[in-house]
């Protein structure tokens, strides 16, 4: 957030307006996180869950094995309770004829970390992959008293997929690495259908937080710069990546992929600096510098939230809401940097889960519907190709977002969590 004089004036003015409208701070017994106003609750009662998909794959002797991970952005209902099965079709690109159709059950991920996610796996015959056909998968959910609901995704099958012999598994669970991140304490295993090894490059991973939605500046995207170092992992080897940074796996191949390696408990944020960095969207540069230079950074961050809230219970709710969104953004939107620092992560932190999400081609549109506390606003993201990830989307920035952005930031700073 640029430390401009206009920003200070607008922020102070907006906070004053919000504070005057509220006439006093929220009482300690007022519902905050998890209890929305009636208008927003009514909207969510009929809203459909917003499911995202991530996948990886491994070539075998006669088929391509694909693994899928599904998450619900809206968190309206846990997928492990509602998801029943996944259907899939392989369609010929030239004739649009359905060449393969089947249904598989979904499974939950046991253990800590992801109770709101389900996984599935399928196999596609090599001849269907070699023809560059289209795979469409549909995740089906069942809700009490409602008809079944499905969310569809498309994967373009490519011949080069049949050259990817290796896949990374979590040592602790044996499950595939489906997300674009891991921690410095995680152990992985390279499972390969042949004896091929995997080359890994490590790059600098300077975290540049997303620019405000009304900014006219252009975000910097990493390119194929010179790596700091490299590592070779042999088939069946167990390995760790003890240095945080941005890694490129299988470089110089068409199926190369990036991997963000972060310390501690990522995607959760628990350490002092991790708590401070995402506050860039709510604070001025002067405030961040003061907290960064404080003898006890963790206490300085806590004091910031306490100053906003005015009392401990509300401060706890603000912290729980904001850093809960940081964790969700890290899970869903990590690309070549942590999810909270991406365009989608920034919007998710400040505005919360969108009311509606639509995808057309490489465009993703988020809509926040009008409520008593929030005006209608629409954000459009476009998918951008780079060397590290397929999960990078850039916001189409517009000057008209300025009023909505500052108003919503001001509500945070007035201690309002009902957003």
pLDDT at 30 over 80: no
pLDDT in tens, 250-293: 998 999 999 999 988 999 998 888 999 999 999 999 999 999 99
Chain mean pLDDT for the chain: 83
What is the Cα–Cα distance from 277 to 284, expressed in whole angstroms? 12
| Distances from the Cα of 392 to the Cα of 109, 188, 332, 369, 375, angstroms | 25, 24, 11, 25, 27
Q: Does the pLDDT of residue 7 top 80, yes or no?
A: no
Q: Which residue has the higher pLDDT, 62 or 7?
A: 62
pLDDT band at 20 (very low <50, low <70, confident <90, very high): very low
Give the per-residue pLDDT at 80.
Answer: 84
- pLDDT single digits (tens) 78-89: 788 889 899 999
Confidence of residue 244 (pLDDT cuts 50, 70, 90): very high
pLDDT digits (tens, 9 = 90+) for 352-408: 988 888 888 889 999 998 665 556 899 999 999 887 888 899 999 999 999 999 999
37 versus 380: the higher-pLDDT residue is 380
pLDDT at position 16 is 39
| Average of per-residue pLDDT across 150-168 | 93
Q: pLDDT confidence of 26, banded at 50, 70, 90?
A: very low
Predicted model pTM? 0.81
The pair of structure tokens assigned to 192 is 């390969």
**pLDDT, average across residues 328-352:** 94
- pLDDT, residue 21, reads 34
| Segment 109-130, tens digit of pLDDT | 765 445 578 999 999 999 999 8
Say what percent of the chain tops pLDDT 70: 82
Q: pLDDT tens digits, residue range 168-207?
A: 999 988 999 999 999 999 999 999 988 889 999 999 877 8
């Amino acid at each position: 957030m640029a430390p401009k004089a206009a920003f200070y004036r607008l922020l102070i003015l907006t906070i004053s307006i919000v504070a005057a409208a509220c006439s006093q701070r929220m009482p300690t017994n007022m519902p905050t996180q998890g209890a929305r106003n009636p208008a927003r609750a009514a909207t969510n009662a009929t809203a459909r869950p917003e499911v995202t998909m991530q996948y990886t794959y491994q070539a075998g002797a006669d088929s391509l094995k694909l693994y899928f991970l599904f998450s619900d952005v809206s968190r309206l209902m846990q997928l492990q309770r509602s998801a029943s099965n996944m259907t899939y079709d392989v369609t010929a690109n030239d004739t649009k004829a359905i060449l393969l159709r089947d249904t598989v059950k979904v499974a939950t991920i046991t253990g800590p970390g992801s109770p709101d996610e389900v996984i599935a796996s399928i196999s596609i015959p090599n001849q269907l992959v070699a023809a560059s056909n289209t795979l469409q998968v549909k995740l089906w959910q069942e809700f009490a008293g409602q008809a079944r609901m499905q969310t569809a995704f498309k994967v373009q099958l490519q011949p080069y997929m049949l050259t990817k012999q290796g896949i990374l598994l979590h040592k602790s669970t044996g499950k595939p690495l489906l997300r674009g991140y891991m921690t410095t304490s995680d152990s992985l295993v390279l499972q390969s259908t042949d004896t091929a090894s995997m080359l890994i490059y490590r790059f600098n991973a300077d975290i540049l937080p997303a620019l405000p939605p009304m900014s006219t500046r252009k975000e910097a995207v990493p390119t194929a710069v010179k790596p700091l170092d490299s590592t070779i992992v042999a088939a069946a080897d167990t390995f760790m990546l003890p240095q945080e940074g941005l890694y490129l796996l299988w470089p110089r191949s068409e199926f190369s992929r990036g991997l963000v390696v972060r310390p501690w408990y990522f995607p959760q944020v628990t350490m002092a600096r991790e708590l401070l960095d995402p506050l860039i969207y709510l604070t001025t540069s002067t405030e961040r510098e003061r907290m960064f230079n404080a003898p006890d950074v963790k206490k300085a961050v806590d004091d910031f939230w306490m100053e906003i809230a005015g009392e401990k219970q509300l401060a706890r709710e603000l912290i729980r809401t904001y850093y809960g969104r940081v964790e969700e953004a890290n899970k869903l939107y990590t690309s070549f940097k942590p999810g909270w620092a991406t365009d989608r992560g920034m919007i998710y932190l400040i505005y919360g889960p969108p009311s509606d999400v639509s995808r057309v081609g490489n465009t993703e549109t988020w809509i926040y519907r009008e409520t008593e506390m929030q005006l209608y606003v629409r954000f459009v993201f476009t998918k951008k190709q780079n060397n590290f990830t397929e999960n990078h989307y850039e916001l189409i920035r517009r000057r008209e977002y300025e009023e909505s952005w500052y108003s919503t930031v001001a509500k945070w700073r007035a201690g309002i969590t009902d957003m």
